[in-house]
Structure 1
Amino acid sequence: MKTLVPILLPALLATAAAEPGPITMRRSGNGTWELMREGKPYFIRGAGGQRNLDVLVESGGNSLRTWGIDSLAEKTDGKPLVQRARELDLTIAAGLWVGHERHGFNYSDAAQLETQRKTIRAAVAKWKHEPAIGFWGLGNEMEGPTADGKDPRIWKELEVLAKIVKEEDPSRLVMTVIAGAARAKIEGVKDHCPSIDILGVNAYASAAGAGKAVKDAGWNRPFVLTEFGPSGHWEVAKTSWGAPIEPSSRDKAAKYYSTQQLVTEESHGLCVGSYAFLWGQKQECTATWYGMFLKSGEKLPSVDAMSRAWTGKWPANRCPRVETFSSPAKGNSVRPGESVAVTLDVADPEGDKVELQWTLAGESTDRQTGGDAERAPEEKKLTMESAGTNQWTFKAPSKPGAYRVFLVVRDGRGAASAENIPFQVR
């Protein structure tokens, strides 16, 4: 039998209670970490975002992550997020935004630092009595997604902020989140931030190996994979004109599933959970790359994959499966007005009749860094002509440029798949 050795943190003073409360942590004699909630082991099965929470619970999820404090009061299903989370027994990793230099924050400006400290202190003081908050998420990629992590000003200020959070709320753990598992970043937190309890890592193509990376860099406290999903648009093959080629719905689902399995199995006792990204929809490179739901609300295959990973079972109604979606135009150029062929083979696991929606959009030109808001290109309905079994054609635009054909397959029962093909008219 393993002997559990408690870590003497203020957060551990909170034991099992009648209502949900803060999450605590403990370490076994062999070095394995685990979180505790209401006196029981608590492994995070989470998602980033605050929509579709009923589906999160149905899928086996137990936690959600936000990025900014204002999200706690925003309406979800007609109610403040914290109220809805309490009703569904979901914990919240409550985000406290920490300034980014690419947004104009200066870590050498004493006035800006003092203002940020006061803002975070006030936010924690306001919300610390909310039982749905499991722990605090202090900052998200504040070092910069493309930075080398060697700027000590940021890590030293992070420690100041973590102390402020614990002064205001000694009952809760504090997590911070870095972009990727680069050794310099992990060492920055390890060497300068003793008040940080949990290290969160956002990773995509390399997500499955994040646990090993943090261990190899010397981190010996709990670790959470705070964002993961398909390979990022900066990590995939591109067309000759620079358009990233988006993974298929099935490939994305497989990536979610395998990452969840591997990161928990190969984290050397450090991993205490994960948050899939994104339990919602957003425009980032395309309208479908990262969202696990469509803008119209239907779930995508990545949701089914997480349900399978969390519960060991597929949901009762699975998303339509796109077996084949190809075209000779994919990644290539066509002439203005040329007839373009598409091969499509779709199957629905429950045999539901599916509906196809075809649209055309120009390639996104508003590319931002680190998930910052982007302007979505206009989509227009695309007329497709049937050319036989599984064969379709459409006419290429007359105007030269870079485009994508988007396909959405819906089963009429809240499930869908989404694909796209980049091509160029010249």
Structure 2
Amino acid sequence: MIKKSWFHIHIAALLVILAGCTSSPTPNHNRKVFISKEGAQYTLYRDGSPYMIKGAAGFEDLRKLHDAGGNTIRTWDTLNLGKILDDAYANNIAVIAGFPMPVSNFLFFYQDTSKVAAQYAAFRDIVNRYKSHPALLMWCLGNEVDFPYKPSFRDFYKAYNHLLEMIHTIDPDHPVTTALINLNRRCIYNIRWKVPDLDLISINIFGELQQLQNDLKKFSWFWDGPFLITEWGINGPWESEFTAWGAPIENTSTKKAAQYQQLYEQFMPVKNPRFLGSCVFYWGNKQEVTHTWFSMFTKEGAASETVNVMQYLWTGKRPAIEAPALKYMLLAGKGARDNIMFNPNSVQTAEILFQNVTSDSLRIQWEILEEDWHAKKMYETNTEKPASFDSLILFSGEHKVTFRSPAKEGPYRIFATVFDNNGHFASTNTPFYVVSK
């Protein structure tokens, strides 16, 4: 009898979950932004009209985003949110505003009622302040916070649902989502069971984008709700090839641009009726293992070839003048996959090979940096570009450079950034290791 009772309880629970997963949103057409389901098709509406997100993760260079055909940005926190919203509105860009939350396994935070109360009050103030801003599109409650099952996380779920209820109550005009790492079935199971009031689920995805369409189809028996891709792009440093000493190998900006186009055209689920759009990563400049891996712009605002690609994907048109195109870099006549090692203080050469481009109007900036394996805190990578060893550059010619290897043993990279006179740049780098005699 006991076993039978538990069986019935589990079946009942599963039916409840499935009912939540297959229910359609009930849109209020008087709201500024809402999601509607017509047949199998989910549609995001903004100011009464269908709105497909052609977005970018980042908050800089918004005029260039608009000019390239983009219409939305995604942020991760509320720092300078007022200025970001104002800048976005001035450039006809909508904003997915992110609320930063400690990941769920920071139980010490969620078990501290004073910290949770302070977070609630701070988020409530933000919602009240910006809920009527014309650039606001939706809220994203947490980025990659993870949604576990264990009962020990009940304080996290209590705090999360309290925040979600508050946002919906104060601001019924804008949907609320959260961003997961990849199509995480475990998280989606627990969201549907423990956080049923989220309006949609968002996905941050890189290397696994190639499997996403198939994974969505296989998982649609359980979850068939609307979704948004809040980050997508080329393979991250964690998904790349590595040197013998563990340094990730970065492709040239030219090859990365081709990969962005291939990923979007072949693997982005644009024909899926549940798809509400995507945000490419990263519209701006950031340090993540290198200062060029994801950056589509330099700090000074020069645009990479990937920006040209996104303009083509969003508008069907390429710019009249495109960024310089590179083949590869040779360091001492070798490539990154050759595991290049030098003695300290030895004189070496590097050169760039171009694709169908003249060098008349190009300028090359060479830099030697230590490998960035540093972290500010656990789970938080360094965000500052390492110092450059400018004094090691001995001579730079048209496409070549002569330099002295560092005196200190360890891993390094040599970077080449190529600028034209039209606001574009191209980049490539090669890791090497200095071995003491």
TM-score by length of 2: 0.84
Q: Which residue of 1 aligns with 2:41?
A: 32
Q: Which residue of 2 aligns with 1:276?
A: 280
Q: Which amino acid aligns with 1:112?
A: K
Worse-superposed segment, 105-114 or 302-311: 105-114
Determine whether 1:124 maps to 2:127: yes
Kindly state the Cα deviation for residue 250 of structure 1 after the two structures are TM-superposed.
2.0
Worse-superposed segment, 125-134 or 109-118: 109-118
Q: Which amino acid aligns with 2:26?
A: L
Determine whether 1:236 maps to 2:240: yes
Q: How does 1:137-176 map to 2 (within 5 A)?
A: 137-143=140-146, 149-151=148-150, 153=154, 154-155=156-157, 157-176=159-178
| Partner Cα distance (1:109, 1:9) in 2 | 36
Local SS of the residue matching 1:265: coil
Kindly state the Cα deviation for residue 354 of structure 1 after the two structures are TM-superposed.
0.8
Match of 1:68 among 74, 77, 80: 77
| Partner Cα distance (1:66, 1:298) in 2 | 21
Q: Which residue of 1 aligns with 2:139?
A: 136
Kindly state the Cα deviation for residue 343 of structure 1 after the two structures are TM-superposed.
3.9
Match of 2:411 among 399, 402, 405: 402
Kindly state the Cα deviation for residue 261 of structure 1 after the two structures are TM-superposed.
2.8
Do 1:212 and 1:266's aligned partners in 2 also have CA atoms closer than 8 Å?
Answer: no
| Cα deviation digits, residues 247-306 of structure 1 (max 9, x gap) | 221232123223333454366322111111111111111111121111222111221121
Q: Which residue of 2 aligns with 1:364?
A: 372
Worse-superposed segment, 88-97 or 153-162: 153-162
Match of 2:30 among 3, 13, 21: 13
| Partner Cα distance (1:25, 1:230) in 2 | 29
Stretches of structure 1 that go unaligned for 5 or more consecutive residues are 15-21, 74-79
Determine whether 1:346 maps to 2:363: no
Do 2:124 and 2:167's aligned partners in 1 also have CA atoms closer than 8 Å?
Answer: yes
Kindly state the Cα deviation for residue 177 of structure 1 after the two structures are TM-superposed.
0.8
| Partner Cα distance (2:175, 2:144) in 1 | 19
Do 2:393 and 2:401's aligned partners in 1 also have CA atoms closer than 8 Å?
Answer: no
| Partner Cα distance (2:409, 2:359) in 1 | 40
Q: Which amino acid aligns with 1:374?
A: T
Kindly state the Cα deviation for residue 6 of structure 1 after the two structures are TM-superposed.
8.3
Q: Which amino acid aligns with 2:167?
A: V
| Partner Cα distance (2:192, 2:329) in 1 | 46
Aligned length: 402
Q: Which residue of 1 aligns with 2:109?
A: 106
Local SS of the residue matching 1:13: coil
Kindly state the Cα deviation for residue 105 of structure 1 after the two structures are TM-superposed.
5.5
Determine whether 1:258 maps to 2:262: yes
Distance change (3 Å), C-alpha of 1:231 and 1:264: closer
TM-score by length of 1: 0.86
Distance change (3 Å), C-alpha of 1:416 and 1:117: same
Kindly state the Cα deviation for residue 372 of structure 1 after the two structures are TM-superposed.
4.7
The sequence identity of aligned pairs, in percent, is: 29
| Cα deviation digits, residues 26-79 of structure 1 (max 9, x gap) | 1221x1212122332211001111110111001100011111123322xxxxxx
**What is the root-mean-square deviation of aligned Cα atoms in Å?**
2.7
Q: Which residue of 2 aligns with 1:186?
A: 188
Q: Which residue of 2 aligns with 1:81?
A: 84
Kindly state the Cα deviation for residue 220 of structure 1 after the two structures are TM-superposed.
1.8
Q: Which residue of 2 aligns with 1:324?
A: 328
Do 1:198 and 1:222's aligned partners in 2 also have CA atoms closer than 8 Å?
Answer: yes
Distance change (3 Å), C-alpha of 1:25 and 1:211: farther
| Partner Cα distance (1:268, 1:383) in 2 | 52
Do 1:280 and 1:291's aligned partners in 2 also have CA atoms closer than 8 Å?
Answer: yes
Determine whether 1:51 maps to 2:60: yes
| Partner Cα distance (2:60, 2:375) in 1 | 24
| Partner Cα distance (2:370, 2:47) in 1 | 51
Distance change (3 Å), C-alpha of 1:246 and 1:324: closer
Distance change (3 Å), C-alpha of 1:334 and 1:360: same
Do 2:394 and 2:401's aligned partners in 1 also have CA atoms closer than 8 Å?
Answer: yes
Worse-superposed segment, 406-415 or 292-301: 292-301
Kindly state the Cα deviation for residue 103 of structure 1 after the two structures are TM-superposed.
6.9
Determine whether 1:41 maps to 2:50: yes
Q: Which amino acid aligns with 1:9?
A: P
Distance change (3 Å), C-alpha of 1:399 and 1:7: closer
Q: Which has the higher helix share?
A: 2
| Cα deviation digits, residues 172-226 of structure 1 (max 9, x gap) | 1111111222211122222222211121111111124335434533332211111
Do 2:247 and 2:371's aligned partners in 1 also have CA atoms closer than 8 Å?
Answer: yes
